[in-house]
Amino acid sequence: MEKQRNISEFILLGLLYDQNMQIFCCVLFLFCYVALLAGNLLILVSIRCSPLFHQPMYYFLSHLSSVDICYTSTVTPKFIGDLLRRTKTISYGNCMLQVFAVHFFGSIEVFILTVMAFERYIAICEPLHYVIIMDRTRCHLLVLAAWAGGALHSFPQLLMAIQLPFCGPNEINHYFCNIFPLLKVACTDTYITGILVVANSGTVALVTFVVLFVSYVIILFSLRHHSAEGRRKALSTCGSHITVVSLFFGPSIFVYLRPPTTFPEDKIFALFYTIFAPMFNPLIYTLRNTEMKSAMSKVWCQTLFSNNKNNEETYN
């Protein structure tokens, strides 16, 4: 512990070194973050204020939007602010907190995506038992299990990071505190720790991806027995899920399912699962979803109508 206290802060090298490009990226990612917050809040409020909240698929989608907001907010605000600074520092305590939060909310998102695939499997492959299997109590338990799984995954990551001694270089070649860049600046042999990180994060990413892949293959295979309209509707919702899973899992597997080392490309891939995937989720889930678009228009049209009516009554 005494060795760890030799370093009170870390210097983040960031995404880019060119000052003009950093200003451009600051504006770009600020726009992305605002769009991400607006899109996910729009979905969250629209579902909570409509009858869709009582349907399992949209109940899970509302939780996914909540987790997206929390997940990206652990990294993006500081990342945007750092783009305007010449020296990008983060305290030791905040760095450890960021390591925990990124893995905590990231793994919850992984598990909720898995739960959503399970819900689609039941809806399409076991439609007669859907109401019994996906009752409200079981939906609550599945979400609770996702949060518990996030805690079980992230606490070992935090413990491994806290036990690393930092007594020399404090420059992290990343735009946030990620576990592999931290291993490179620790003043001890981190090979075993790196293997444990791969075993933890890599196993979670690989196992959940395989489960998701197999479930969607079974779903698509079972659609042969559905009507044309049923196939169209199922493909619309499953297509959205598959797109989200690809955006999130592709970069995650590249970063975590390999020998414990770092590459310059890691920072670019990290943008996909920390910013781009959460930003595109609202678009992916609404543009091809008639029920979602209908609920959003009803909720927000009623809100605007109510506000206009109140304003007119106040004026009169």
pLDDT in tens, 176-206: 998 888 998 888 888 888 889 888 888 888 8
Question: In sequence order, which residues have a C-beta less than 8 Å from that of residue 132 and are 6 or more positions away?
Answer: none
- Res. 1 pLDDT band, cuts 50 70 90: very low
Name the pLDDT band for 314 (thresholds 50, 70, 90): low
Q: Which fold has domain 9-289?
A: Rhopdopsin 7-helix transmembrane proteins (1.20.1070)
* Percentages (nearest 5) of helix, strand, coil residues in the chain: 80, 5, 20
The maximal CA–CA distance of the chain, rounded, in angstroms, is 76
Residue 53 per-residue DSSP state? G
Task: Place 316 in a pLDDT band, splitting at 50, 70 and 90.
Answer: low
Residues paired with residue 10 on neighbouring β-strands, in sequence order: 90
| Residues 82-121 pLDDT 10s | 998 888 999 999 999 999 999 999 999 999 989 988 998 8
Pairwise CA distance, residues 277 & 75, whole Å: 14
| DSSP secondary structure code for residue 27 in this structure | H
CA-nearest of 282, 201, 232 to 34 is 282
Identify the DSSP state of 16.
-
At residue 62, the 3 state secondary structure works out as: helix
The whole-model pTM stands at 0.87
